[in-house]
Structure 1
Amino acid sequence: MVLGDWGGHPLYPYTTRVQTAVRDQMVRYALEHHPRFVVSLGDNFYKNGVQSSDDPRFNHTFEQVYSDPSLHIPWYVTVGNHDHHGNVTGQIDYSKKSNRWKFPDLYHKFTSQAANGRFVDVILIDTTVLCDDVYDPHVHFAAVQLAWLEDSLKQSSADYIVVGGHHPVYSVGKHGPSTCLRRKLEPLLHTYGVSVYIAGHDHNVQHIQMLGNTSSLSNRPMDYFIVGSGSKTSSKRFHFDDIPESQVNFFFAKPKDVGGFACFEVSGDTMTVKMIDGLGQLQYKYPINPRK
């Protein structure tokens, strides 16, 4: 399961109606399908992250909310801009206190083998350090991270590669496309035949498909999914004209709706991406073929 921007509220009761509705449907899905893990795409704690690994927000916004035994599976974490307003090291250190919170470093990766024998590499990056202008002192760290990412992609022989970060490369929502990520990240995604890039930041659900350029080793389209409505929703399409309408396959958000999450299911010769809303309705699904 994939969930972004689920960080609740900094004041009591620390949750939102959207967050608990999405949580309920995650439990429903987990009880039926028994997912192996959750990928968290950042903005885990609104609005200013946590202060340390002892911060009570871990209990109020995470442990008490996602408490059902079906969700006591590994949560592989990356962080967003709101998390960087606090102490990100506190979120990394929480990995030592929780059996399911998996956040060993700002960027990390793991491999999962599906029941059909297919391998999936999941690579999580910190796009705030990579591109956010607020964090100019981290320019050196951005270069190190980018080199690590390219090396990880180069080494991968997985059937599917999923790269995840908080900020989208392309979006028609409030924040729109990222010029920085288009320059730094997009060429690597195409060159190494990444299966899908997942992000949050805009509080809706989107699927955008962009063609590669002629210099790419892979000529297949690149699939970008936004899963950013784990705690709040926004139907604003400020950047709808920035991307050709034919390449926006899906957009879902309603101002008074109940958010959503994504499921990645690998079976047979296909990885199917499903978008499920906070009412439990399947809003969208899309098949992705193996890299080879």
Structure 2
Amino acid sequence: MAGFLNNSTALCLLLTISFGLCLVISTLAELQRFEHPVKGDGSLSFLVIGDWGRRGTYNQSEVALQMGRIGEKLDIDFVVSTGDNFYDDGLTGVDDPTFEESFTKIYTSNSLQKQWGDAEAQLNPVLRKIDSRWLCLRSFVVNAEIAEFFFVDTTPFVDMYFTNTKDHAYDWRGVSPQKNYIKDLLKDVELALKESTAKWKIVVGHHAIRSAGHHGDTQELVRQLLPILQANNVDLYVNGHDHCLEHISSIDSPIQFLTSGAGSKAWRGDVKGLNQDRINFFYDGQGFMSVQLAQNVAKIAFYDVFGKVLHRWNVSKQLYSAL
């Protein structure tokens, strides 16, 4: 991820404190691996939120309230953050008040008392002393029995960030040289996906592979990451970055592209066209997403700032259907 100043795109996994999180040293890939149990019936449920940290403004607090309500209703196991956690330039250090003002004091519902995780200042373990929910890494794998989650550091793929630094400051410690970092990361992700025997394979990144929103497709990911996902039977690619909610179906693979980047400020009316893939749902207001997984079916829903369901969709290994 981008470094000490502009590290807000880091990915977070929010895990229930009651279950905790176990680190497993893997001999199959360089990515850190974690284990998380499913419920007694073998199911798993979680929320997805992205692009949120604005000290409660732009309806961040209202979205957080509805996340708490839906999280309790679905008895969620964890929450996934798709990045852009602290606007506008991440955290300036471990003592930056933005951390508490945009996270600790906002996501206060009982069902959201999970471990959150995130690069450089956001990776600093001191932040976990401020709020024990915080757990952030660059790229990692979570094995949740019926599903494996592959969190991929997508920021270094974007060439523009290395050439256009007038708007944001970046610290690439641990990432440079870019080509070597990407090469190694792709190798690790590909190996982890190949070795996975999970019923569901879910890849999470900050940047979109397919999107009809403001930023659109991330061409570097289309060229370099997408072929690996297609070759390894990935079910869902989940991202933020575009401040909207989207569900896009690939026409040449089973992959479903899900954008949940509407945690606070939304880009109303900023819609672009799309290539040959099919748009099932697009919403340019604030909101979030839920996913419920069982052995043979995944239930996905998008919610607006009032907690109203905007789009529901079920997917099984045999049948894909929009509801």
Give the Cα separation in 1 of the matches to 2:58 and 2:160.
32
Match of 1:2 among 42, 45, 48: 48
Please list, as runs of the form range in 1=range in 2, the aligned pairs for 1:139-178 lying within 5 A after superposition: 139-178=179-218
* Structure 2 equivalent of residue 203 of structure 1: 243
Given the alignment, which residue of 264, 286, 291 partners 2:313?
Answer: 286
8 Å CA contact 1:271, 1:290 repeated in 2: no
* 2:210–2:257 contact (8 Å) kept in structure 1: yes
Work out whether 1:267 is the aligned partner of 2:294.
yes
Instruction: Determine the C-alpha separation between the residues in 2 that align with 1:40 and 1:166.
Output: 9
1:173 and 1:235 in contact (8 A); partners too = no
Pairwise CA distance, 1:237: 4.3
Distance 2:99 2:311 in 1: 31
| SS in structure 1 at match of 2:111 | helix
Q: Which residue of 1 aligns with 2:93?
A: 52
Taking a change above 3 Å as real, the CA distance of residues 238 and 31 of structure 1, as seen in their structure-2 partners, is: closer
2:108 is the counterpart of 1:89: no
Q: How far apart, in 2, do the equivalents of 1:139 and 1:2 lie?
A: 30
For 1:89, give the aligned amino acid.
Answer: E
Match of residue 260, structure 2, among 208, 223, 227: 227
1:187 aligns with 2:227: yes
How far 1:76 moved relative to its partner? 4.7
- C-alpha distance after superposition, 1:189-246 (max 9, x if no partner): 110000100111111101111123xxxxxxx432101111001111334421x324x7
- Which of the pair is proportionally richer in helix? 1
**Counterpart residue number, 2:152:** 125
Superposed CA RMSD in Å reads 2.0
- 1:11 counterpart residue number: none
Query: 8 Å contact 1:38–1:76 — kept in the other structure?
Result: no
Aligned mates of 1:33, 1:160 — CA distance in 2:
19
Shift of 1:268: 5.7
When residues 158 and 52 of structure 1 are mapped into structure 2, their CA distance, relative to the original with a 3 A threshold, is: same
Task: Name 2:140's counterpart in structure 1.
Answer: 108
Gaps of 5+ in 2: 1-46, 164-175, 319-323
The structure 1 segments of at least 4 consecutive aligned residues displaced by more than 6 Å after TM superposition are: none
Deviation track 1:66-123 (CA, whole Å, cap 9, x = no partner) reads 122221123355xxxxxxxxxx3111114643432221x311111114xxxxx11111
Aligned to 2:12: none
The separation in 2 between residues aligned to 1:168 and 1:132, in whole angstroms, is 15
Deviations 1:157-213 (A, max 9, x none): 10111101111001111111111110011101110000100111111101111123x
Q: Where does 1:207-218 land on structure 2 (aligned, <5 Å)?
A: 207-212=247-252
Q: Which residue identity is paired with 1:183? A: R
Match of 1:251 in 2: 282
Structure 1 gaps, min length 5? 9-13, 78-87, 114-118, 213-219
Closer, same or farther: CA 131–26 of 1 in aligned 2, 3 Å:
same
Contact 1:161 1:194 in 2 (8 A): yes
Task: State, as a whole percentage, how many aligned pairs show the same letter.
Answer: 30
Contact 1:74 1:102 survives alignment (8 Å)? yes
Paired letter, 1:228: G
State the alpha-carbon separation in 2 of the partners of residues 209 and 229 from structure 1: 20
Aligned to 1:277: 304
Give the Cα separation in 1 of the matches to 2:234 and 2:117.
19
Name the TM-score, length of structure 2 as normaliser. 0.75
Pair 1:61 & 2:102 matched: yes
Instruction: Provide the C-alpha distance between the structure 2 equivalents of 1:176 and 1:145, rounded to a whole number of angstroms.
Output: 23
Cα distance in 2 for residues equivalent to 1:123 and 1:61: 26
Matched, 1:239 2:262: no
SS in 2 for 1:271: strand
The whole-number CA distance in structure 2 between the counterparts of 1:124 and 1:48 is: 21
Q: Give distance in 2, aligned partners of 1:120 and 1:287.
A: 16
**How does the TM-score come out when normalised to structure 1?**
0.83
Displacement of 1:54 in angstroms is 2.6
1:223 corresponds to which letter in structure 2?
Q
- Please state whether the residue corresponding to 1:51 is helix, strand or coil: coil
For 1:34, the equivalent position in structure 2 comes to 75
